Structure 1
Amino acid sequence: MSSIIQQSTAEGIPVRETVKTKWEEKLDLPQITWRASLAGLVIGSIVLISNFQFGLQTGWVSMMSLPSALLGFAIFKLTPIAKDFTDVENVFIQSVAVAVGTGPLAYGLIGIVPAIENFLTAEESGLGRKLVFSLPDLLIWSLGLALFGVFFAIPLRKQVIVEEKLPFPSGSATATLISVLHGTEILDEEKDTQSIAEVGEEGIATADDIERNVQASTDITNSIQTPEEFKELSDTKNYKSNISNLLYTFTVSAAYTLLAYFFPVLKSLPIFGRFLSDSYKWNFQPSPAYIGQGIIMGLPTVTYMLFGAILGWAVLAPLSKYNGWAPGDIDDWMHGGQGWILWISLSVMISDSLVSFLVVVYQSVVAGVRKLNELNQETDDGSTEPLLRESDSSSNEDSRNTFFKAVNSVKKAAERTATIKDVPGKYLVNFKVTLIGLVASSVLCLVAIRLVFGKLIPYYAIAVAIVLALFFSILGVRALGETDLNPVSGIGKLSQLIFAVVIPNNHPSKILINLVAGGIAEAGAQQAGDLMQDLKTGHLIGASPRAQFIAQLIGTMWSVVLSSVMYKVYNSVYRIPSEMFRIPTAVIWIDCSRLVTGEGLPPKAFEFSILFGVIFGFISLLKNIVPKTSKYYKHLVYLPNGVAVGIGIYNTPNFTLARFLGGALSYWWINIYNKGSSSSPGTNSKINMIIFSSGLVLGEGLLSGFTMFLTSLGVKHF
């Protein structure tokens, strides 16, 4: 069992060892280290600044787990201590970084808080005055939302990662990248149960098993299929090329950001003519970060967004202005075309999210009932008969046999579950800590909300919001695991719909309560999903789940402080909202609250919202119920996704055009440029593409901090 697989590896790439060495024995390697914690906090801070910049501009944020893992490896690769830097320590770094970087979204600092400060009227607050958060208020608010989502995820790990083996594409792709960088194998989930059954209690697969089953469980890269392809990715030349690409694109993006500060015309090039640019906002912003985001999103998504931009800004907004329904300037949120089409955008996104949500609930319930039925029907002789059938009074012997068959069936099911590869209990977060954490974090949330808002938010509303957050976290984690999309936006909107019923319509703070409740639900789903992606990465690499949990806590606590400070800094340096920071997510939150609580809509907005809501609800139903085996399934890609269309409608066209360019570039990169490659197009190209795009996003995001400094000094534009 101590044998190793001797594979030809490039210089500097260690040989790969058995499953036991790679997996079980890794658990005892140092993971929670000062150097890993510091590196994770630094990288996460860079991601956080980037997410703040783009979150306030466009509502878009990213986990950045892949570039975080790559940057963590690069930091140690360039230092003398790289020789004892392990893949599991790299997992710890990216777990800390992700927890830090996603703070702006998790704590509502790009949506809910700006909505309350900038758009909530004095009457809607329930106090007769506007609400403005102080720094202590932001710290308390963020801390209240920061932890319960982390504890929600812990009980779900075994079910969705270990037993069901949901793919979690981003988490799996990050594991693939880390394994490539360190020259190690990732866990073969297709083979782990069978291997354990073959070799006994030790749970160790043979070298032959590993060699036959090298694979990469990722839907994003979809690349590594054989040891030879894995070796190609591990090659030192490819590693250096990836680092060079990251640095090059980072530099180009940073240079554009600095240049655009001094020459603002670069942010709105009138490629369609001055009239369309000034009157209808059809211009182009050649932002490298926007292009990089489009590369990550892919061509189908950005095409749907482009369809939404054309529908909203070339058809509906001009129509509303022409007919006098929205007589203001086209980009006026209150009286112009942008404010009018926002309601249609909301209708499209809510309809799509609700239909998808209901289908997921139905499918989850059906799957659970099916599994329960299978358990009840299986007998110890392999036949199937109901175990919970009605007893026959004429045959006590049959009843006794049925009882013993049920006991044996349950015992066998437990034995099968026990053979699934998982880490020993001492490396897991125990039940007592989980339970105490759930209770304590929920109480902390309740207390924090009351400290910030006082009696405006009743206790029962907070309690209901936390319970909903727990339920939504389960659904969000499952959706993320299967599709790589955490529907936090839809979850927030759904919670707003529910609270429109929970809170009396005559309550003076109904709008405020609606916003806060949505923020609590979104925070729980967001954090639970982020941690589950990290846990998937760690599971495939062989990291300790308890260490990753600690990484999440470290990153979260730092993110609470840094996110609150950065929000105040942005508001002190820039005028928000403004042409540069339009905070579209905040507008959507406040208008959705008004919509569900019965506030009035602009002329004809209701009729158009109903029409498009029905259309996209039907499209969402088709996309969710047509099975993949159907001959019509491949044609569903031509039906637009409601959420993507809604985003295209409510953002100005320059937001979408650059992303569409990125999506087209990604399609060309994978399907045309690499089509004639001697290696599989998926082998290197997709990972290289992700690294390329990450440099574009990080460069502009990080330099935004420097341009903010220039703004605070009053450095003038040309």
Structure 2
Amino acid sequence: MSISNPPRTSGSQRIPVPWHLKADIPQVTLRGTIAGLVIGTVVLISNFQFGLQTGWVSMMSLPSALLGFAIFKLSPFSNDFTDVENVYVQSIAVAVGTGPLAYGLIGIIPAMEHFLTSDESGLGRTLHFSTTDLIVWSLGLGFFGVFFAIPLRKQVIVKEKLPFPSGNATGILISVLHGTSLLEEEFKSDAPDVESNEPEEQNQVSLAANDANYKSNIRSLSITFVASAVYTIVSFFIPILKSLPVFGSYASEAFLWNLQPSPAYIGQGIIMGLPTVSYMLFGAILGWGVLSPLAKYQGWAPGEVDDWKTGSQGWIMWISLSIMISDSLVSFMVMAARSVSRLVGSARRAHSQYQPLLGDRGGDGDNASVATSYDTGLDPRHLVSDKASFVGIAVSSIICAISLKFIFGQLVPLYTILIAVVMALFFSILAVRALGETDLNPVSGIGKLSQLIFAVIVPSNHPSKILINLMAGGIAEAGAQQAGDLMQDLKAGHLLGASPKAQTIAQLTGTVYSIFLSSIMYKVYNSVYEIPSKMFRIPTAVIWIDCARLVTGEGLPPNAWVFSLVFGVIFGVISLLKNIIPKESKNHKYLFYLPSGVAVGIGIYNTPNFTLARFIGGLVTYIQMKKTGSSNQRVHMIILSSGLVLGEGLFSCFTMLLTSLGVKPL
């Protein structure tokens, strides 16, 4: 049965289409593809801008869904634009927009180009990638994560019903915008709550979406978008607006304490929430208010503060790295242990006489049958077969090996590429489960763990050991990132009855487009701007290269190793407590006061001006929520923040054009 035009009653109300027939509604459309690519382009530019500046990248699935609806709402096609086609649009947009992170263009590639020395490259010279090289590199990393995710869908979404909070929120928002219903069985799960850094806020987004007012949200999005765009243009001509010495000239000049009132940074703080930005502020105070002056006055870092080699900025960076690695790895290991335990338990129950086919969440046999029926109820032509998945994994892995050998040649042995891809497969499984349970994809921890493993695999005397270490981390990160992105989209689509095959097509379409656009945009940024610089600090690249040097045996600055070890242990213990103490425990409420190691590390690494603006955004959200006491306010704040982020991100292209034309600030 094909539903080309869903039946309608009088007015604009649709006759509800049963969930199991929704997949028959046309979804892979030319108009939807174009809309998704356009929205994804905006998100990609925004992610490039802020990824190179601060290392922050977002899926932007909620704004993409809202923009997709808005585009068609204002067009003659608004009457037949369905919720499942909207899922297709936002799936393409997410695949395009996350390209800078998935292909390592804000971390791995800048680390290789800007920080890898001639000796470390194994070539006797530094590395520089052409546009063709970048396209081939991205092609190699672009697909295997997608195919890794497909076989996991039935297990983690259909059987276990993992929450995937962002995908859940996106599905609910789309259902509200289109006035359609969701898969009711998904909300009858007796699964316990799971640990998350911001679970309450994510749940508020989902619950509040039902009260969202479309016209008010579009108006708010437009106003904040324009305000952010105006700031971007004005601050180009008046650079002082990017670095206000609000703490006095001495603090500004000696220790870089400034405020950058960037609307985008404020918007990012709104999205992050007060707890996360508070931890970042704590990191900024610890790093730039305590450790940086200490290192300078003790003579451990005698150079200028912003000197990476001899200054305190480079000295505290090692402490930042130690904290983030410790937190990420402890969290990752706990998640991995839980995943293995649950998979073992699920396998045992699957062979149990009394509880067949149950997921790892328990329940009775009837519930399990209901869960699986929603998958088998779909027409097989809307599902991606296991055969197609495995062929896709094999072909994409071969493409990865060929691509990387084409770029690096004899510098990188073939066995290291194959091991990295196999490791990426297992890391993707863990990443998907972690994302499904906590809404956090631990790509940073996965990348660092991969680097640690390859420090053991690759001989210490290999001339390209640093280069191989970076490459392996990039492969692991790409697989985990793409698998997680697709699974979030599949969760939203599952709630609405969208075709999994259509969503896979969306992911592949967006990936192909993003491979070329991301590579071109990377070259544009590097040709127009000085990178690295005070404006584009490429923090992720510095962390990647320094982690590679650390695990392969390079020494640290004076006394940095002592502080790194102490703070690494402290935040490792904190991470362990935050991950093993259950929500039901009476002590769980006190975990709020223990800072997140990743957030603290980012606060130490980035100069204070990046953190202060984000803290303002988080504080504004907290005050607004306290005033109204309404969860709907959270949705409204996220939409406001989306306009702030997209406005500055998109209009950065305009200031980039001015820079390339030689236009000077006032």
2:102 to 102, 106, 109: 106
Cα distance, 1:232–1:637 mapped onto 2, change above 3 Å: closer
Find the aligned partners of 1:572 and 1:103 in 2 and give their Cα distance.
Answer: 19
Letter paired with 2:85:
E
**Distance in 2 between the 1:247 and 1:430 partners?**
42
Q: Report whether the alignment pairs 1:89 with 2:97.
A: no
Among 530, 548, 558, the residue aligned to 1:593: 548
- Listed as ranges, the gaps of 5+ residues in structure 1 are 1-8, 195-216, 382-409, 676-680
State the Cα distance separating 1:431 from its structure 2 match.
1.4
- Map 1:669-684; keep pairs closer than 5 Å: 669-672=624-627, 674-675=628-629, 681-682=630-631, 684=632
Mapped partners of 1:413, 1:331: distance in 2: 59
**How many equivalent residue pairs?**
642
SS at match of 2:202: coil
Residue 358 of structure 1 is aligned with which of 320, 328, 333? 333
Distance 1:66 1:621, change over 3 A: same
CA contact (8 A) 1:150 1:528 kept: yes
Q: What is the aligned partner in structure 1 of residue 3 from structure 2? A: none
Distance 1:705 1:44 in 2: 15
Cα distance in structure 1, aligned partners of 2:510 and 2:525: 21
Corresponding residue of 2:594: 639
| Matches of 1:450 and 1:270, distance apart in 2 | 49
Q: Could you list the per-position Cα deviations for residues 468-499 of structure 1 after superposition, in whole angstroms to 9, with x for gaps in the alignment?
A: 11111111111111111111111111100110
Other-structure match for 1:512: 467
Spell out, residue by residue over 1:375-401, the C-alpha distance to the aligned partner (whole angstroms, 9 max, x if none). 4554499xxxxxxxxxxxxxxxxxxxx
Which amino acid is the alignment partner of residue 446 of structure 2? I
Residue from 626, 635, 644 that aligns with 1:687: 635
TM-aligned CA deviation for residue 670 of structure 1: 1.5
2:545 corresponds to 1:563: no
1:188-247: per-residue Cα shift (whole Å, max 9, x none)?
2346799xxxxxxxxxxxxxxxxxxxxxx996253676xxx87743xxxx2111000000
User: What is the aligned partner in structure 1 of residue 447 from structure 2?
Assistant: 492
Amino acid at match of 1:563: S
Q: Which residue of 1 aligns with 2:404?
A: 449
For 1:266, the aligned partner's letter is: L
State how far apart, in whole Å, the 1-side matches of 2:367 and 2:174 are: 34
The residue type equivalent to 2:639 in the other structure is: I
Instruction: Tell me if structure 1 keeps the 8 A contact 2:349–2:355.
Output: no
TM-score, with normalisation over the residues of structure 1?
A: 0.87
Matched, 1:616 2:571: yes
Partner residue in 2 for 1:121: 117
Report if aligned partners of 1:66, 1:174 keep a CA contact under 8 Å in 2: yes
Look up the SS of the partner of 1:270 in the other structure. Answer: coil
What's the counterpart of residue 321 of structure 1?
296
Query: d(CA) in 1 for partners of 2:187 and 2:287?
Result: 49
State the match for 2:225 in structure 1. 250
Distance (whole Å) between structure 2 residues aligned to residue 533 and residue 415 of structure 1: 23
In the alignment, the residues of structure 1 paired with residue 206 and residue 66 of structure 2 have an alpha-carbon distance, to the nearest angstrom, of 18
Aligned to 2:361: none
* TM-score normalized with structure 2 length: 0.93
Deviation at 1:627, TM superposition (A): 1.1
Task: Select between 365-374 and 263-272 the one with higher mean Cα deviation.
Answer: 365-374
Show structure 2 runs of 5+ residues with no match. Answer: 1-8, 191-198, 357-363
| Partner SS, residue 349 of structure 1 | helix
**2 CA distance for matches of 1:232 and 1:300?**
25
CA distance in 2, matches of 1:224, 1:508: 51
The equivalences for 1:564-583 within 5 A come to 564-583=519-538
Do the aligned residues in 1 keep the contact of 2:169 with 2:205 (CA within 8 Å)?
no
Instruction: Name the structure 1 match of 2:195.
Output: none
Hey, what's the Cα distance between the residues in 2 that align with 1:224 and 1:455? 50
2:215 alignment partner, one of 223, 240, 245: 240
1:136 to 124, 129, 132: 132
Pick the aligned partner of 1:466 from 418, 421, 446: 421
Cα offset, 1:26, TM superposition: 1.4
Displacement after TM superposition at 1:368 (Å): 2.5
How far has the Cα of 1:421 moved from its partner? 5.0
**Does the 8 A contact of 2:154 with 2:375 survive in 1?**
no
For the residues of structure 1 that align with 2:64 and 2:453, how far apart are their CA atoms? 37
Residue 14 (structure 1) aligns with: 13
Closer/same/farther in 2, CA of residues 224 and 99 from structure 1, 3 Å limit: closer
Q: Which of 62, 69, 90 lines up with 2:65 in the alignment?
A: 69
- The structure with the larger Rg is 1
Distance 1:363 1:230 in 2: 31
Specify the SS of the correspondent of 1:189.
helix
Contact 1:169 1:218 in 2 (8 A): no
- For residue 272 of structure 2, what is the amino acid of its counterpart? M
Contact kept? 2:279, 2:600, Cα under 8 Å: yes
Preserved CA contact (<8 Å) 1:298 1:663: yes
Shift of 1:365: 2.0
Report the residue type matching 2:492 in the other structure. Answer: T
* Equivalent residue, structure 1, for 2:438: 483
How far, CA to CA, are the matches of 1:218 and 1:424 in structure 2?
36
Deviation at 1:373, TM superposition (A): 3.7
**Matching residue's letter, 1:502:** I
Matches for 1:196-275 after TM superposition, within 5 Å: 220-222=202-204, 232-233=211-212, 238-275=213-250
Secondary structure of residue in 1 paired with 2:417? helix
SS in structure 2 opposite 1:716?
A: coil
1:384 aligns to what?
Answer: none
Change (3 A) 1:541 1:120: same
Read off the aligned partner of 1:562 and give its amino acid letter. L
Q: Show CA shifts across 1:658-690 (max 9, x none).
A: 001111111112122x12xxxxx11x2121111
Taking the aligned partners of 1:155 and 1:418, their CA distance within structure 2 comes to: 15
CA contact (8 A) 2:12 2:79 kept: no
Name the CA shift for 1:550/1:715 in 2 (closer, same or farther; >3 Å): same
Is 1:298 matched with 2:276?
no
TM-superposition CA deviations, 1:90-128 (whole Å, max 9, x none): 111000000000000000100111111110000000010
Contact kept? 2:169, 2:206, Cα under 8 Å: no
8 Å CA contact 1:144–1:444 kept in 2: the answer is yes
Q: 1:607 to 1:15 in 2, by over 3 A?
A: same
CA distance in 2, matches of 1:25, 1:159: 22
> Once the 2 structures are TM-superposed, how far is the Cα of residue 425 of structure 1 from its aligned partner?
2.1
CA RMSD of aligned residues (A): 2.1
C-alpha distance in 2 between matches for 1:533 and 1:344: 33
Given residue 361 of structure 1, which amino acid in structure 2 is its aligned partner?
A: A
Give, in whole Å, the separation in 2 of the partners of 1:219 and 1:438: 36
The answer to whether the aligner puts 1:285 opposite 2:240 as a matched pair is: no
Q: What residue identity is the alignment partner of 1:687?
A: V
* Cα distance in 2, alignment partners of residues 656 and 46 from structure 1: 24
Map of 1:709 onto structure 2: 657
1: CA distance, partners of 2:306 / 2:210: 53
Amino acid at match of 2:138: S
CA deviation string 1:415-445 (max 9, x = no partner): 5764355533221111121111100000000
Q: Deviations over 1:599-640 (max 9, x none)?
A: 111000111111001000000111111111100001101001
* Cα distance change of structure 1 residues 654 and 540 upon mapping to structure 2, 3 Å threshold: same
> Secondary structure of the equivalent of 1:151?
helix
Whether the 8 Å CA contact 1:14–1:182 is kept in 2: the answer is: no
- Aligned partner letter, 1:350: I
Displacement of 1:713:
0.5
Indicate which of 302, 314, 320 corresponds to 1:339. Answer: 314
8 A contact 2:269–2:618 mirrored in 1? yes
- 1:344/1:608 contact within 8 Å kept: yes
In structure 2, the CA distance between the partners of 1:232 and 1:451, relative to structure 1 (3 Å rule), is closer
Q: In the alignment, does 2:647 pair up with 1:699?
A: yes
**How far, CA to CA, are the matches of 1:337 and 1:688 in structure 2?**
41
CA distance in 1, matches of 2:350, 2:138: 44
3-state SS, counterpart of residue 402 of structure 2:
helix
